[in-house]
Structure 1
Amino acid sequence: MMLYPAMNKLTSYVPNRYMLVNVVARRARQIAETAEEAGEHLAEKPVTLAINEVADGKLDASQMDLTIEEENA
């Protein structure tokens, strides 16, 4: 069974699998909360959207570090 996107593509943006899980989970929560506040229906699940953002190079671990700091401020 082939997984898309491939793990080696994802880990090229986020250095290890454990960090990848955290990055994707945080972004998925952001996507879900934003859609709920706007009353939007998502065509795909938030986790799928977040993984695709990582695969497209739109999201990496350094961007999530900034988001975490903003949430805690």
Structure 2
Amino acid sequence: MLNPSIDSLLKKIDSKYTLVTVAAKRAREMQLADDCAVEKPVSHKFVGKALEEIDAELLNYVPSEEKVSE
């Protein structure tokens, strides 16, 4: 079972695609700097730590307003 659950994460971020993208970018940042915002993370992997940050509302994102040309 995932910790945190996908249901609780989707309450924080609107889509699975956005959730994966935000978590992956944060995981890459943590690999370089090794700075987790969660005090005592359950996961020892970077992606798991990023998901815990999202669940704890320590990590947010701003959606871009990029328009797709037709």
TM-score normalised to structure 2 length: 0.68
When you count helix as a share of all residues, which structure comes out higher? 1
Structure having greater relative contact order (Cα 8 Å, sep ≥ 6): 1
Moved more, 19-28 or 53-62: 53-62
Q: Secondary structure at the match of 1:57?
A: coil
The runs of 5 or more residues in structure 2 that have no matched partner are 35-42, 64-70
The runs of 5 or more residues in structure 1 that have no matched partner are 36-42, 66-73
Count of aligned pairs between the two proteins: 56
For 2:55 and 2:14, the matched residues in 1 are separated by 13
Q: What root-mean-square deviation, in Å, do the aligned CA atoms of Structure 1 and Structure 2 show?
A: 2.0
Identity of matched residues, %: 31
TM-score normalised to structure 1 length: 0.66
